[in-house]
Chains A and B, each alone.
Chain A
Amino acid sequence: MALKDYIRQRFFPHIWCPGCGHGIILNGLLRAVDTMGLDKKNIVMVSGIGCSARISGYVDFHSLHTLHGRALAFATGVKLSKPELNVIVPMGDGDALAIGGNHFIHAARRNIEMTAIVMNNRVYGMTGGQFSPLSGYGTMATTVPYGNIDHDFDVVDLATSAGATFVARTSTYHVHELAELITKAINHKGFSVLEVLTQCPTYFGRRNRIGDASEMMEVYKKNTVRIGSKKKQENPDLLERGIFVQKELPEYCREYDNIISKARQK
């Protein structure tokens, strides 16, 4: 299928700013879905609130645009009630880890087969550039006008500790890796987390003097390396990309089917 067959052209143009990385993630996602040959009617995309959340409206899947931070909670209801559906949950960094942090760790702990894509642009874009739990110490944002004294989460470490059975990271610069990792995350039989570093030139880039969209993507190119790369040993500040966790543990929906069998035998 052509990629345009996966989108709702009626609802374009999208709301994202010129240079925003979110469109690249949308593209990567559609290419992944196309490669996998998934039937559109078997995909549900559940999102929260924020720039990232609007992604669900543009795709021609079942789409559930919910409340700030609550996407995974809604998605849990969708998935458990109809496990045959592929549930994909794109979330912003504030969405997933500030207001939605509790739902995030519990979905990971439960190991329910869904794919959480954390679209990490390190800023609240929709409300005009406030710091998020992923902005990091020393960054600038409208609510930290004298510099950020909040420390950031490491999404990969957090998801791993919380029990996610697939954890990966990439960036909008690495578009082929992006589609490949989304495919692997969706195929994973358990809760999968993919962090995608995505540029917000309008708020994060401008305020932190990183430059325009292409310059921000240059940073992703320069400052990240594949897991296990020698460069990381030479320069520990580099951020690793790739699959950090990939393991099999009992999946929640399948486990619940066993509960039903037990209850019925009683």
Chain B
Amino acid sequence: MHDAIKFIQGNEVCVEAALYAGINFFAGYPITPSTEIAEQMAVRLPETGGKFIQMEDEISSMCAIIGASLTGHKTMTATSGPGFSLMQEALGYAIMAEIPCVIVNVMRGGPSTGLPTHVGQGDVCQARYGTHGDHAIVTLTASNHHDIFRMTIEAFNIAETYRTPVILLLDEVTGHLREKIEIPEPGKIPLTKRLRTAVKSGVDYHPYLPREDGRLPMSDFGDIHRYNVTGLYHDMWGFPTDKPQIVYGLIRHLVDKIENNTPKITRFRKYYTKDAETLFISYGASARSTLHLVENRRRRGENVGLLELQSLWPFPADIVREACQHVPLVIVVEMNMGQITKEVKLAVDDPKKVFLANRIDGVLITPTDIRNTLRVIQGKGV
């Protein structure tokens, strides 16, 4: 028996992956269905010399991981619906001050306290637009343990590369189900180290002056360079300013560093898309049900395919447009009222061919549900 093979919950996979990625600080607050992440972090982090703290709420949890990131640590928090709402304020701060960190939201049914123990995918737009002001955001997702492991590591890597918070949207089903995961040997998956400044002591360091490639080397709190960090618009020293040309430059930088790198950030899987006459687009737990249906239909000789999105924001419009180009029927499968469907409609040339197959009652959408929607669209009835 191989020790690296584990049979654990998706939430625990997320913890193992974060440890693999080099996390050394986690702050959180218990909330269903994400609590196992905090519990497991409390066990595992001190074993590696890292720190776990249970804060007084999700607001302070988000603030604490930003503070810890500034001392040079890889940091993460995990929450669900209502907690994610509370984190929006400091999430905006992390975007503005360009602090690398990872926020996991194990989605449950909303709005409000909604359905604590049941699945939903209603926080997709909140991940994108939840915090105030124009901004760009990176959001990844996963449907199975192998991908939860990879996407958690990607989240840390992207956070460091672009000096940005990254949201990992899991859901109650993928977070709680148990399946096999093989933990890769250390070093097998590349990790992105924090880019630190090479500026020497006594030379002026500009924490907020991007290099030519758009990246901003950091300096840890406690190191030689002392600088200011603020959520206000700020100049290259991090000092508050409202000069229009600096304000313009910063907001452009914050959005462009993400949006212009969409191809590099985009992650997806394609199943039988080449000759598909019906293309499903899905993500997270919904993608499992969709893939189940696609495999069944393929065995019967039907030309159906699946584009599984593993990154939702920035929305991979080019990939979606290309995949949908020669397909007469596109069905987006998600457990909300069409949050990604709207994006797909905007991306494709003919939005009329895009339909939604969904379920919003806290129950995982079934392959039968999806098949029935397909039959109705095809005019065959259920």
Direct contact of A and B (CB under 8 A): yes
CB-defined contacts of A79 to chain B, threshold 8 Å: 67
Number of interface residues of A (CB under 8 A): 42
A233: shortest Cβ distance to chain B, in Å? 39
Whether A57 lies near B226 (C-beta < 8 A) is no
B89 at the interface (CB under 8 A from A): yes
A226 at the interface (CB under 8 A from B): no
B321 at the interface (CB under 8 A from A): no
- Within 8 Å by CB of B222, from A42, A65, A264, lies A42
CA distance A103 to B63 in the complex (A): 11
CA distance A219 to B46 in the complex (A): 52
Whether A62 lies near B222 (C-beta < 8 A) is yes
Whether A10 lies near B25 (C-beta < 8 A) is no
A46 at the interface (CB under 8 A from B): yes
User: Which positions 96-123 of chain A face chain B at CB distance < 8 Å?
Assistant: 102-103, 106
CA distance A73 to B224 in the complex (A): 24
CB-defined contacts of A259 to chain B, threshold 8 Å: 46
B93 at the interface (CB under 8 A from A): yes
B291 at the interface (CB under 8 A from A): no
User: Which positions 55-86 of chain A face chain B at CB distance < 8 Å?
Assistant: 56-57, 60-67, 70, 72-82, 84-85
B66 at the interface (CB under 8 A from A): yes
B320 at the interface (CB under 8 A from A): no
| Chain B residues touching A, majority SS | mixed
- Within 8 Å by CB of A60, from B67, B224, B226, B239, lies B226
CB-defined contacts of A60 to chain B, threshold 8 Å: 226
Whether B55 lies near A65 (C-beta < 8 A) is no
Given known A63-B229, A73-B55, contact A264–B47 (CB-CB < 8 A): yes
- Within 8 Å by CB of A264, from B46, B73, B221, lies B46
A7: shortest Cβ distance to chain B, in Å? 12
CA distance A85 to B68 in the complex (A): 12
B56 at the interface (CB under 8 A from A): yes
CA distance A41 to B201 in the complex (A): 11
Q: Output the residue of B24, B61, B72, B231 with the most chain A CB within 10 A.
A: B231
Q: Output the residue of A11, A46, A60, A63 with the most chain B CB within 10 A.
A: A63
CB-defined contacts of B70 to chain A, threshold 8 Å: 62, 64, 77-78
Given known A63-B228, A70-B90, contact A77–B27 (CB-CB < 8 A): yes
B323: shortest Cβ distance to chain A, in Å? 41
Contact with A along B9-51 (1 / 0, CB 8 A): 0000000000000001101000000000000000100110101
A263 at the interface (CB under 8 A from B): yes
Given known A44-B221, A57-B240, A67-B89, contact A81–B67 (CB-CB < 8 A): yes
Whether A262 lies near B46 (C-beta < 8 A) is yes
B241: shortest Cβ distance to chain A, in Å? 10
- Within 8 Å by CB of A260, from B49, B69, B226, lies B49
B268 at the interface (CB under 8 A from A): no
For A68, the closest partner residue in chain B by CB is B89
A77: shortest Cβ distance to chain B, in Å? 3
For B219, the closest partner residue in chain A by CB is A62
A137 at the interface (CB under 8 A from B): no
Given known A41-B224, A70-B60, A70-B90, contact A77–B46 (CB-CB < 8 A): no
Q: Output the residue of A11, A70, A79, A259 with the most chain B CB within 10 A.
A: A70
B332: shortest Cβ distance to chain A, in Å? 36
Known contacts A78-B70, A106-B55, then 19 further A-B pairs from the complex at CB < 8 Å, ordered by chain A residue:
A40-B226, A64-B70, A64-B229, A65-B228, A66-B230, A73-B63, A74-B64, A75-B67, A77-B64, A77-B70, A80-B51, A81-B51, A81-B73, A85-B221, A106-B60, A256-B51, A259-B46, A263-B46, A263-B47
Q: Point out residues on A near B: beta carbons under 8 Å.
A: 8, 10-11, 40-42, 44, 46, 56-57, 60-67, 70, 72-82, 84-85, 102-103, 106, 256, 259-260, 262-264, 266
CB<8 Å pairs between A and B, sample of 28: A8-B239, A46-B67, A57-B230, A63-B226, A64-B70, A65-B228, A70-B90, A73-B60, A73-B67, A76-B60, A76-B63, A76-B64, A77-B65, A77-B75, A78-B71, A80-B25, A81-B25, A81-B68, A82-B220, A82-B221, A82-B222, A84-B222, A102-B56, A103-B59, A106-B60, A262-B46, A264-B49, A266-B47
9 tightest A-B CB contacts, nearest first: A77-B67, A77-B64, A73-B60, A73-B63, A263-B46, A81-B68, A77-B68, A65-B230, A106-B56
